[in-house]
Structure 1
Amino acid sequence: MVRMLCAMIVVVCASVCHGAVERWAGEVSLPGMKLEFTVEFTPDEGGDGHAAAISIPMQGVAGLALERVVYDDARVSFFLGGGAQALFECERVDADSARGELRQSGQVFPVSMTRLAPDAPEPGPRRPQMPERPFPYDEHEVEYVNAEDGVRLTGTLSVPRGDGPHPAVVLLTGSGAHDRDQTIFGHKTFLVLSDHLVRAGIATLRADDRGVGGSGGSVPDTTVGALAGDARAALALLRTRPEIDGDRLGLIGHSEGGMLAPMAAAEEGEGVAFIVLLAAPGMSGRAVMEAQMVDLLEAAGAPEDFVARNSELQRAIFDRLAEGAPEDAVREAVRALVEAQAPPGTDGATLEGVVDQQLAAVQTVWFRSFLVNDPARWLARVACPVLALNGSLDLQVHAATNLGLIEAALTNSADVTTRELPGLNHMFQTAQRGTVDEYALIEETIAPAVLEAVTAWILERAGR
C-alpha cells in the first residue's frame, strides 16, 4: 500500500550485430531473487552507435530508454539514471550469450544474457490466473468526471450477460498511480478479481488512477479526500447505466483503496449498499508507515539497533512535516535516513540523487494528506455491511492490529465481518515470508479462497 523507498535495478549486456535490431533476455542475480528483463538494441541512423531500451515484466516497465550506451565487438555498457544510478558493463562470451556485472551504490550484482530469436515471445514471469479473452461478459470503455475538481477518469465497466439490472462494485487501488488492473510485478490484481466477480453476476468498474492511461490529473498533486471523490464519481456513473441496479452498489478497496472506500461510503450514505476492505488500514497513514518500516526491516533480518535508529529517523521526517518546517529542515531529516540506509561506499552524488527524490515524495499534496488521514472517523459513519480481510503475513498493513481497529470503529454498522487469513501477504498471495520481494516471485495473483470469500459475501447481501 504505502510507497517504499527503493531503487529499481535494471541492467543489460549483449553481443553486437551491426545494422539490425537485437533483443536479449537476461537476469540479474539479486539477494533472494532473479530479476528478469529484456533489452532491445537499435542502431543509430548514422550507424556510429546504438540506442537501447529495457523492459522488466515483473515491474511493469516497458521500453525504458538507457543512457551512455556502448555496444561494440568487445564491450557492452550503459548507465541507468534516475533513482537507480546503475552502471553495467559486460563482455561477450560467444555470439549468443554474455556475462557481466551491475554496479550500483557500492554493490555488485552478476548478470547473464541470452540473445533471442526474432520471433521469440517476450519472456516474463508466469501468471496462470490471468484471464484470457474472449470473456463471457461485456466490456465497455467509460469516462466520467469528478465534479469537485473537474478531473476526467477512464475505465472499464464489465457487465454480466443476461437479465439485469445487476449489482456492481467499484474497485479502488492502493497507493501510487496504478492502471485499472492494478498491475504490480506483472500481476493484474484487479483484472483477476473483476473477472471472478463478473462471472458470478456482479458488474465491476475499474479505472486508471489519475495521470495513468486516459485519466487526467496527478496522484501526487491530489489529496486523499479528492481520491475518495473519484470513487463517488464512479458510483454516480454506475447510477446512469440501465444495466446496473443503483440500489446494489458497493466499493472494494485494496490497501489505500480500503481507506478511500469508507470515506466515500460515509459521504454517500444509503447510496452504498456494502464495502469490502482488503488489507485496509485502521490507523492513520503515519502510524501505518511507522509500523510498516519496523515490520519490513525485522523481516529482512535487520539488527535491533538498526531498526530502532531508522524508526527514529523516519519519525523525525514526519515530525518536521507536521510542524510545517522549512524545506531545508525536512531535507536534513530525509538525508539522515537515506544515509542510514545506504550501503557502505555509496558516493555523494548518488546519495544526493536519492535525497532529492525522497524529499520530493514526502512533500507532495498526497503524502501530506495521507499521513494525517484517520480512517476511524470515516468508519464510524459507515452504516452499510462491511467485509474486512487481511493476510497474516501482511508486512505493510499489520493484520491483527488494523482489523481490530476497523472493527472497533464500525459502531454504526450492524453487519461487520473481519477475517485474518493465514499464510497470505499484502497482495493476498499464498506466501512464505510476506516480504515485498516475494510479490514478483509468486505465480499466484490472488488466493482462490479470497476470490470465493469476497464473491460469496457480496452475493449474500446484494444478490437476487
Structure 2
Amino acid sequence: MFGKRVRTAKRRRWRAVAGTLIALSLLAVSLGGVVLWQNTYDLREEHVTLRHRGADLDGVLALPEEGDGPFGLVVFVHGDGPVDATHETFYRPIWESLAKAGYASLSFSKPGISGSEGNWLDQSMQDRADETLAAVAWARARPEIDGRRIGLWGASQAGWVLPKVAAQDAGLRFVIAVSPAIDWGRQGRFNLLAELRRDGASAEERAAALRRRETTQRLLQAGATVEEYRDATGDDDMTADRWRFIAKNYTSDATADLRAMHGTPVLLVVAGHDINVDAAETETAYRELLPRDSLDVRRYPDATHSLVKHDVERSTVKLTLTAVFAPRALFADGFLADQRRFLERLPDSRAAAASAPRTPGR
C-alpha cells in the first residue's frame, strides 16, 4: 500500500513537472512570437554595394513594403564608432517610420565594418562627406529612387558631415540632424564636464581631468605622436588609429558649412538629457546660421543623446528588454512620428511623389 502511494506521488510530481515544462515551452514559443513580431518591420531590405575610392562599402537599401516607386530617399550618416549599416538594428524603427511617408532609406557600414573595406578611423570629416556625396550620386542612378527627393539623416558626429554635404550638393531636398554638435573642442569639454557631474566627481577630480584635457589639446596642436600622448597623460588605452583620427578632426567646426547650406530645409532634433552635446549651443547656432523659414526644431525633454528614453537607457535591464521585445518603444515619444511628418510636410513632397514616372517592371 505504501509503495502504491509512493508511485502515485511520483506520478503526480512528474505530471506537475511535465505541466510546468509544457507551460514554459508555450511561454517561450509565445515570447518568441512576440519578439519576431516586434522585430518585423514594414520594409523591403536589399543588400547593396557602393564602390568608392577603390573600396567596396556594404550597405542596405530599405524600401517601403508596398509600391513600385520611385521613392524619395533618406541617406543615413552615422555618428562616431564602428557602426554597421543597420546600427545593430537600431535604425530599423526609424526606416519604418520614414517608409510610412513614402521614403526609402540607404545606409552603408563604415569602412572596415561588416563587409565594408577600409578603416573608418582613417577618415576626416571631409572624407565622410565625400563618401556621402558618392552614396547620393549612386542613389540618383537607381530607377526606384526619385532623385528630386533625396535628403540626409545623421546623428551626433554626423553634425560635422551633414552641412558639408548639403553645402556641396544644392540638389539635396532636406537634412534631419539628430543631436549634432557645432565645435569639436567645445563639444569635448562639455561632454567631459557633464560626465564628471553625472559620476559625482570631486572638485579635485574635475580639476585633474581638465588639466589632462588641456595637455591633450597642446599635444594635438603640436602634432604629437600617440606615444607622446600616452607618456604625458598615462592613457594607455589610446590606440594609434584613434589618435590619428582625433588629430585629423579635432578642429572640426560646422559653422561655415551651416552658413553655406543654400537654405536646405532642416529638422533639428535635440534631447533634454544629452551629456554628449550641448543641445542649447547647437540650437542657438542653428537658429543664428540658418534661414528661419528653413529650420524646424524638435525638442525631446525625456530623451538622451541617442534619442532613447532617459529612464530606459539608464537601466541595463530595461534597455535590453525594450530592445528585444518593443524596439520602437526605445525612442522618445513623438520622435519617430515627427520625422515622418517633417517629410510629409515638405513643399511639393506629395506632388513630386504623385507626378514621378512609375518604375517599369516593378
Q: TM-score range by the shorter chain?
A: 0.7 to 0.9
Give the alignment partner of residue 306 of structure 1, picking from 200, 205, 208: 205
Query: How far 1:243 sits from its partner (Å)?
Result: 1.4
Change beyond 3 A, Cα 1:130–1:200: farther
Q: How does 1:62-461 map to 2 (within 5 A)?
A: 135-146=41-52, 149-160=53-64, 161-183=66-88, 188-269=89-170, 271-283=171-183, 285-335=184-234, 355-360=235-240, 362-364=242-244, 366-383=245-262, 384-411=264-291, 414-432=293-311, 440=319, 443=322, 444-461=329-346
User: How many equivalent residue pairs?
Assistant: 312
Greater strand proportion: 1
SS in structure 2 at match of 1:216: coil
Higher relative contact order (CA 8 A, sep 6+): 2
CA-to-partner distance for each residue in 1:342-385, whole Å, 9 max, x for gaps? Answer: xxxxxxxxxxxxx3331525522x22222111111111111210
Letter in 2 for 1:303: S
In 2, Cα distance between equivalents of 1:309 and 1:433 = 32
CA-to-partner distance for each residue in 1:166-205, whole Å, 9 max, x for gaps? Answer: 111011111011111113xxxx321221122113311111
2:358 counterpart residue number = none
8 Å Cα contact 1:407/1:418 also seen in 2 = no
In 2, Cα distance between equivalents of 1:130 and 1:373 = 42
CA-to-partner distance for each residue in 1:149-182, whole Å, 9 max, x for gaps? Answer: 3332121111222242211101111101111111
8 Å Cα contact 2:85/2:110 also seen in 1 = yes
Identity, % of aligned positions = 24
Structure 1 residue runs of 5 or longer lacking an equivalent are 1-118, 336-354
SS in structure 2 at match of 1:372: coil
TM-score of the superposition, structure 2-length normalised? Answer: 0.78
Higher-Rg member (1/2): 2
Query: How far 1:409 sits from its partner (Å)?
Result: 2.4
Change beyond 3 A, Cα 1:278–1:327: closer
CA-to-partner distance for each residue in 1:102-130, whole Å, 9 max, x for gaps? Answer: xxxxxxxxxxxxxxxxx9x99xxx9x898
SS in structure 2 at match of 1:168: strand
8 Å Cα contact 2:46/2:61 also seen in 1 = yes
8 Å Cα contact 1:190/1:206 also seen in 2 = no
Query: How far 1:214 sits from its partner (Å)?
Result: 1.7
TM-score of the superposition, structure 1-length normalised? Answer: 0.62
Query: How far 1:286 sits from its partner (Å)?
Result: 2.1
In 2, Cα distance between equivalents of 1:320 and 1:447 = 39
Change beyond 3 A, Cα 1:210–1:326: closer
CA-to-partner distance for each residue in 1:414-442, whole Å, 9 max, x for gaps? Answer: 41122332111011112149769799468
